[in-house]
Amino acid sequence: MKTGLTGLIRRSLLAVALASPFAGLAITAHAAGERFVFVSHSPDSDTWWNVIKNALKDAEHDLGVTVQYRNPPTGDIADMARIIEQATASNPSGIVTTISDFNVLQSAIKGAIAKGIPVITVNSGTAEQSKKLGALMHIGQPEYDAGKGAGERAKAAGVTKFLCVNHFINDSASVERCQGYADGLGVKLGDQMLDSGIDPTGVYNKVKAYLSVHPDTDGILTLGPNSADPVIKLLRDTGSASKFKSFISFDLDGDISQAIKDGLMSAAIDQQPYLQGYLTITFLTLYVRYGVIPPNNVNTGPGFITKDNIAMVEKLAGKYR
């Protein structure tokens, strides 16, 4: 009897094990019922969006929906407008899009909403812009406020002259971040904003050149891993980290968290991108299925990651954080 039972359990376990890959397939196939398109403004070379892509995959799996991630390969926002128009023409269940340039994207986004497609805006853009377009809600980090928060921290640390390393100068949100920092610090934004480009060697050398021409710089703001990582390397190579009273970066990756642990960097501004991917799809799915949606916007940031809370964050960096 006992052996018979274990045998049965074994056999059924085996059956489940054999069937489960196919079960997985079946779920994915059914998921074609609800299809969402997530449109970002980032060029292919920007790796920060991987966490969002991971979140989208998790949401796909957890909710049984299909999510198509789209972006303009070169980061050209006019091309992004065409992608939103394309998504609209393909009649998806919902669209998530960033508002990286309100003027360029407004007619495309309004077009989607006019066609009756529910739209949530995410990441770049402001809550007011989102409302003006008629989107359901905005999920993101207010860029200016986040920059200002960093500027206030820098001021508290005694910074007087700063450098803002901008690796994505064509995105107006990037300029807002530098502007917020300058305002938080209480100085006028001028040539402290460096157009570094996205190539690591280029960033490294441009920052090096800037710092040798402006030796009295004592605060640095980088706008993401693409600008932070080369600067971290530069400070390590030259051993000049102690010269800077505050070195804060937007966003997080392995190098940045190591630098925070080592005391090289003061803080990272975390906008918790996983939420931006997972929540948008979750809210849209619930809205499409049951008509329910929170009435207010969601701020996913700014959260500041410092030496105190880095341990937990570090484990998950690059995948969920």
Partner 1 sequence: MAILPDGAANDTPVVDIIDERLSRQSAWRRFLARPDLGAFAGVVLVFAFFGVTAGGTGMFASDGVLNWLTVTAQLMIIGTGAALLMIGGEFDLSVGSMIGFVGMMIAIPTIYFGVPIGASVILAFVAAMAIGALNGFIIVRTRLPSFIVTLASLYMLRGLTIALSILVTNRTTVSGLKEYSNGSFVAQLFSAKLFPGFFQWLADNGMINKLPNGEPVVSGVPMLILWGLVMAVVGHIVLTKTRVGNWIFASGGDANAARNVGVPVSMIKISLFMVTAFGAAVFAACQVLEFGSAASDRGVLKEFEAIIAAVIGGCLLTGGYGSVIGASLGALIFGVVQMGILFTGAPSDWFQVFLGAMLLTAVLFNSSIRRRVTGER
Q: Is 88 in the site for partner 1 (CB under 8 A)?
A: yes
- CB-CB contact of 321 with 51 (8 Å): yes
Helix (H, G, I), strand (E, B) or coil at 222: strand
Q: Is 47 in the site for partner 1 (CB under 8 A)?
A: no
Q: How far is the CB of 261 from partner 1 (least distance, A)?
A: 31
Q: Is 54 in the site for partner 1 (CB under 8 A)?
A: no
Which residue among 55, 83, 150, 281 contacts partner 1 (CB under 8 A)?
83
Helix (H, G, I), strand (E, B) or coil at 11: helix
Q: Is 107 in the site for partner 1 (CB under 8 A)?
A: yes
Which residue among 75, 118, 180, 224 contacts partner 1 (CB under 8 A)?
75
Q: How far is the CB of 12 from partner 1 (least distance, A)?
A: 35
Which own/partner contact pairs does 199-207 have at CB distance under 8 Å and 24+ positions apart? Answer: 200/226, 200/229, 200/230, 201/230, 203/165, 203/167, 203/227, 203/230, 203/231, 204/230, 204/231, 204/233, 204/234, 207/163, 207/165, 207/231, 207/234
Q: Is 44 in the site for partner 1 (CB under 8 A)?
A: yes
**Site mask for partner 1 (CB under 8 A), range 159-188, x = bound:** ----------xxxx--x-------------
Q: Is 102 in the site for partner 1 (CB under 8 A)?
A: yes
Which residue among 8, 16, 114, 156 contacts partner 1 (CB under 8 A)?
114
- CB-CB contact of 108 with 84 (8 Å): yes
Size of the site for partner 1 (CB under 8 A): 38
Angle at 266 between CA 274 and CA 310, to 5 degrees: 45
Q: Is 68 in the site for partner 1 (CB under 8 A)?
A: yes
Helical axes 77-89 vs 102-114, angle rounded to 10°:
0
Q: Is 30 in the site for partner 1 (CB under 8 A)?
A: no
**CB environment 275-303: b (16+ within 10 A), e (fewer):** bbbbbbbbbbbebbeeeeeeeebbbbbbb
- CB-CB contact of 221 with 248 (8 Å): yes
Q: How far is the CB of 19 from partner 1 (least distance, A)?
A: 26
- Which ranges constitute the DSSP H helices of 115-171? 127-133, 143-156
**Region of residue 40 (left: phi > 0; alpha: psi -120 to 50; beta: else):** beta
Q: Hey, how many other C-beta atoms are within 10 angstroms of the C-beta on 175?
A: 20
Name the residue nearer to partner 1 (CB basis): 115 or 315.
115
Q: Is 46 in the site for partner 1 (CB under 8 A)?
A: no
Name the residue nearer to partner 1 (CB basis): 97 or 266.
97
Stretch that binds partner 1, among 10-18, 98-106, 149-157, 293-301 (CB under 8 A): 98-106
Q: Is 212 in the site for partner 1 (CB under 8 A)?
A: no
Q: How far is the CB of 64 from partner 1 (least distance, A)?
A: 17
Name the residue nearer to partner 1 (CB basis): 57 or 245.
57
Task: State yes or no: cis peptide before 302, omega within 30 of 0.
Answer: yes
Give the residues lining the site for partner 1 (CB under 8 A).
35, 44, 66, 68-71, 73-78, 81-83, 85-91, 101-104, 107, 114-116, 169-172, 175, 189, 195
